[in-house]
Structure 1
């Protein structure tokens, strides 16, 4: 079993998603489906995965879509994929740890393909920290809200990861979450200039 801190790993991966322009919503949902499996197996070094179950968790209907996003995550260093060509044996996945297990410091984000992964980063100065965008809501609040509404745990992770990756700052995230659930747990970029105005209009139209 790997020494993995659940919160630090998620925070680190969110930072990576924020800075990686290649990342799309599909990458996030697929990664979180693997992460939930990894967490439930106590962060084993390598996990055996069932493609159908992972696709269901990530809300993928196409095998091609699944394999395309999985190939990206593998090539970009977010995980290592070991396919199984035997019908009775599942494929294996090794998740990349984005922090030093001894010091619990966050690691650098996944770099460009020409660079190597770095195991740790220097502490940011107080001035730089003050410049970072503030997310009004945190993961525990989202998880609790989803639990109260009897919505799947994995969807709470997906919702929080996506909103945070877009650096939206809103105190009306519960409204967006309701629309997210009503739309079969799918989020789309708002077309208007305001981060939440499109969702608010949708809310009014659907009388939520």
Structure 2
């Protein structure tokens, strides 16, 4: 599981999905954080109280509506708890668009899918470059073209 590729894939889906509100995004990112803390093992248990606190959602009705819509729209697989004192079960859908390799070196060894959009066809939101560049680097001297295909 590549954390950065997954988030990039999520934001690509988000760019095309106009149904998503700030509540949905906040709730999904809270789910993603808990998934990360569970070392990306699906499914995992969540608590409504904890999810509402993490996502800063104050209404139980808003939480229930948003988690159901995230499930219906294919962002998560959600199974509500039958008992109020037990946690609900959730699985996050992977958005890091990759194909598996045939080598058995590691279960998460992935190669990028070259049939996807190229880096040049990024969102119109990010096309306008407002930061001053110095020899291919931004003013913080960080390289712009980074390769995230290497495992950490």
Aligned to 1:122: 115
* Kept after mapping to 2: 8 A contact 1:8/1:104: no
Higher helix fraction (1 or 2): 1
Higher strand fraction (1 or 2): 2
The Cα shift of 1:28 comes to 0.4
The Cα shift of 1:86 comes to 1.4
* Kept after mapping to 2: 8 A contact 1:55/1:61: yes
Unaligned runs of 5+ in 2: 101-109, 132-152
TM-score by structure 1 length? 0.52
CA–CA separation in structure 1 for the residues paired with 2:20 and 2:79: 21
Q: Which moved more, 1:81-90 or 1:51-60?
A: 81-90
Aligned to 1:202: none
Aligned to 1:50: 47
Residues 124 and 101 of structure 1: CA distance in aligned 2, closer, same or farther (over 3 Å) = closer
TM-score by structure 2 length? 0.70
CA–CA separation in structure 1 for the residues paired with 2:122 and 2:55: 33
Aligned to 2:25: 28
The Cα shift of 1:89 comes to 1.7
Could you tell me which of 4, 9, 12 is aligned with 1:7?
Answer: 4
CA–CA separation in structure 1 for the residues paired with 2:47 and 2:115: 38
Aligned residues: 121
Unaligned runs of 5+ in 1: 106-119, 136-166, 172-208
Q: 1:15-164 residue pairs with structure 2 within 5 A?
A: 15-98=12-95, 99-100=97-98, 102=100, 103-105=110-112, 122-125=115-118, 129=120, 132-133=123-124, 135=126
Residues 75-128 of structure 1 show CA distances to partners (whole Å, capped at 9, x for unaligned) of: 0000000111113321010100122362443xxxxxxxxxxxxxx6723357xx
